[in-house]
Amino acid sequence: MQPCDIILYSGQTFVLAYDTNSWPLTRLGKLDGIGKDELKKLLGTSSVEIRLSLK
């Protein structure tokens, strides 16, 4: 997994990767136009709620 990947975790939870890892998870997509450092700054150090929508 790479930074900005949207991952399916435990079959029911979406996770947004903020760094590289080697876990065998299912990648669902990727955020475009933002880098690892920008993402870390945007997410900060507390809990974050992310809403996904389809157009």
Residue-wise pLDDT for 1-55, tens only, equals: 888 899 998 888 888 888 888 888 899 999 899 988 998 898 888 888 888 788 7
Q: What distance in Å separates the CA atoms of residue 10 and residue 35, rounded to the nearest whole number?
A: 26
- Which of 43, 9, 52, 49 has the alpha carbon at shortest distance from 27? 9
- Which of 6, 4, 15 has the alpha carbon at shortest distance from 42? 4
Largest CA distance in the chain: 31
Residue 5's pLDDT is what? 92
